Amino acid sequence: MRKKKKAKLEEELYWSNFFYFNVPAHLNEIPTHMERLNFRRYHVDDEGILKMVGVVRSVYQMDLDGTDITNEGIRHLTQLEKIQELRLKNCKGIDNGCLEFLYQIKGLELLYLGGSGITVDGLSGISCLKDLKSFYISADDNEDPEKLRSIAASLPPGCEFIVNHRAF
């Protein structure tokens, strides 16, 4: 009984925070399309993402900067019909293992991976994101410039490529 009650309280807290930070005050239910979801203000994890994708169908801008999501959370995001902007800055729980899921997300125009566990070596498949207009990553100072040029060449024409906060 205690576990059920604790689970129910956690569920209520999740949706309370979700409403407070993401749903305009004049609405009393969660829309299936969200303009902006900001999860950086509270600690969402993979379970929270799974709850969200059970209700929301598409998102214009999703901010997961610094959250506790892992590769599994990115897999959950593939259930959405579309995400135009996805910010994963300083998400230490994701690495190259999430890329197969990240590449399945439809409609991505902006992708921010700076400070995550995703490395330059893992980005060879980035060319499948045909709608990408802005792409932000972090790279070590001693990163092979040829690898970065290869990534830049595989991006859609006109896509802005930012490495360590500088245009490449």
pLDDT (tens digit per residue) in 92-145: 999 999 999 999 999 999 999 999 999 999 999 999 999 999 999 999 988 999
Q: What is the DSSP letter of 50?
A: H
Which tens digit of pLDDT belongs to each residue from 7-36? 777 877 777 777 666 777 676 777 899 999
Q: Quick check: 162 pLDDT over 70? A: yes
> Coil, strand, or helix at residue 66?
coil
Q: How far apart are CA 67 and CA 69, in angstroms?
A: 6
Pick 87 or 21 by higher pLDDT: 87
Q: Quick check: 41 pLDDT over 90? A: no
CATH number of this structure's domain 33-167: 3.80.10.10
Q: How far apart are CA 162 and CA 168, in angstroms?
A: 6
Of 125, 77, 83, 86, give the one whose Cα is nearest residue 103: 125
